[in-house]
Amino acid sequence: MMRGKTIIVTGANSGIGKATTVELLKQQGRVIMACRDQVRAEEAVREIVKEAGQDSGEVLIKHLDLASLKSVHTFCEEIIKEEARIDVLINNAGIYQCPYTKTEDGFEMQFGVNHLGHFLLTNLLLDLLIQSAPSRIIVVSSKLYKYGEINFEDLNSEQSYDKAFAYARSKLANLLFAYELAQRLQDTGVTVNALTPGIVRTNLGRHISIPLLAKPLFNLASRAFFKTPQEGAQTSVYLACSPDVEGVQGKCFANCQPQELLPKAADEDTAKKLWDISEVMVRITT
């Protein structure tokens, strides 16, 4: 049970984030839904509360646009001012294979939202998370990290852009961030773990073009082989709630079990260099 615990879930109004919120509410948690679209978030809350049922926890919405460093700062300032503690931070929100666009601050959108936005969010909330220890940070990545590479000469994809590669790179960055953060938070009472949820039926793939004639077959295949959002959320919920992972640090999970990562996802030099460059990009120093 999560009674008395406060959890922040980014991207909580749809897909895995929404399903995660439902499960945490069922366990009496108090969930802060960090969402970009207020209207969609309010619609989602009505569905979430209905699905969670009576005697569930408390849910509230706070605006957060991970494509805006200013929005991230505002969100964190409000959280620090209004919340006495944060027990769990779930970095769940993500953009998947969108056309080349830039964030408000000029970063390639997938790298900016999936990595840099969460990097800044987590760093700004670190003091509160440490004060709230034992607390947990959960980073949602993807098995597609395997196809990503960190090109420090072109993190902004200005020399070339492939939307699939850019997504894979952002997910590799998530794992490297989690790895380095876990090292930095040793002996603080704050644990950091990542997860890969598998292939889940969500609106994350809204930027993927599927030929009209192939859509019925794709929809049939997705129902047969893709996880539901509820199934995809199970590892997030497990890492947020389970006593089995109390004190577990710096691991990546899939289907609620630790998984082995490729060496590039735990390369110490790359993780440290990415951290240092990310600090410069989001204009913070730690």
**CA 283, 285, 286: angle at the middle one, nearest 5?**
145
* Helix, strand, coil content of the chain in percent (nearest 5): 50, 15, 35
Catalytic residue among 96, 145, 167, 179: 167
Q: Rounded distance, CA 268 to CA 241, Å? A: 29
Q: In the annotation, is 167 catalytic?
A: yes
How many other C-beta atoms lie within 10 A of the C-beta of residue 184? 13
Spatial neighbors of 207 by CB under 8 A, at least 6 apart, are 96, 97, 98, 99, 163
Alpha helix segments (H runs only) across the chain: 15-26, 38-52, 69-82, 109-110, 118-131, 163-184, 215-225, 229-232, 234-241, 268-282
In this structure, the number of other CB atoms found within 10 A of the CB of residue 81 comes to 7
Find, among 195, 192, 181, the residue nearest to 248 by Cα. 192
**Cα torsion 50, 89, 77, 179: sign:** negative
How many angstroms separate the CA atoms of 121 and 286, rounded?
13
- Between CA 34 and CA 17 the distance in angstroms is 10
Name the helix (H) or strand (E) containing 140: strand 135-140
Q: Annotated catalytic sites, by residue?
A: 167
